[in-house]
């Protein structure tokens, strides 16, 4: 039994999700999870977790879902562990961050859990004054490119609001420092709920950073 993450666009109206669930059942699939990623303009983007008794049924699953009026399949992939319960993953990441007792450990944990929780290809913590990378997970673009991208993004309300700009890059400032957590992945855009969750993760990390900096200042003779 394999579990797949199926990202779909569907009409934001009663019955649409039920019709999709019926098609999933028609191919002997079991709908075991639903995550609403974005809503607006009369449509919703949902990520569905579907268990299939055979991998051979995957093409048929996508075809059946696409037959529902107004529904489009954006992406189908084998579900990563972080997708199985994103809310639990977010809580576990927050717990790891507040348990850190050194800045290096905090920055490394932020990148590694950010990459894992969002199923990203890479994650970096960027010092915008340099710019320079304080921590990374995965094969990220050069710091100079990331710094130029973020400085340009901050001048555009549309990019800040995720209404324009690259949809395969998501970022969030650490509010009290000139630092930013930046994630990237290929093939799947970051959606509104994911960007809000990323911002919350950055705020948690920043609060712990402030505590550690204050502790270090007190410990110095």
Domains of the chain: 2-79 (3.30.70.260), 84-219 (3.30.450.40)
Beta bridge partners of 40: 43
pTM over 0.85: no
Helices (H) and strands (E) in the chain, counts: 8, 8
pLDDT in tens, 111-169: 999 999 998 999 999 999 877 899 999 999 999 999 988 888 776 655 555 454 578 89
* Confidence (pLDDT) at 187: 80
**The most confident of 85-94, 95-104, 128-137, by mean pLDDT:** 95-104
Distance (Å, whole) CA 90 – CA 198: 9
Contact 8, 38 (CB under 8 A): no
pLDDT in tens, 8-57: 999 999 999 999 999 999 999 999 999 899 988 899 999 999 999 999 99
């Amino acid at each position: 039994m394999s579990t797949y993450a199926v990202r779909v666009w569907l009409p934001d109206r009663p019955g649409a999700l039920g019709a999709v669930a019926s098609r999933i059942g028609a191919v002997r699939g079991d709908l075991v999870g639903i995550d609403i990623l974005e809503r607006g303009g009369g449509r919703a983007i949902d990520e569905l977790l579907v268990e299939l008794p055979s991998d051979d049924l995957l093409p048929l699953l996508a075809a059946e879902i696409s037959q529902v009026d107004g529904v489009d399949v954006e992406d189908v992939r084998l579900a990563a562990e972080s997708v199985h319960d994103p809310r639990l993953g977010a809580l576990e990441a927050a717990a790891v961050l507040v348990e850190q007792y050194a800045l290096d450990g905090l920055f490394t944990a932020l990148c590694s859990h950010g990459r894992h929780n969002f199923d990203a290809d890479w994650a970096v913590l960027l010092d915008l004054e340099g710019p320079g990378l304080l921590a990374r997970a995965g094969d990220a673009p050069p710091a100079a490119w990331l710094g130029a991208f973020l400085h340009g993004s901050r001048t555009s309300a549309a990019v800040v609001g995720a209404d324009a700009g690259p949809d395969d890059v998501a970022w969030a400032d650490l509010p009290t420092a000139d630092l930013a957590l930046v994630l990237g992945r290929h093939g799947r855009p970051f959606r509104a709920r994911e960007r809000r969750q990323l911002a919350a993760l950055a705020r948690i990390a920043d609060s712990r950073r402030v505590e550690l900096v204050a502790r270090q200042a007190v410990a110095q003779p």
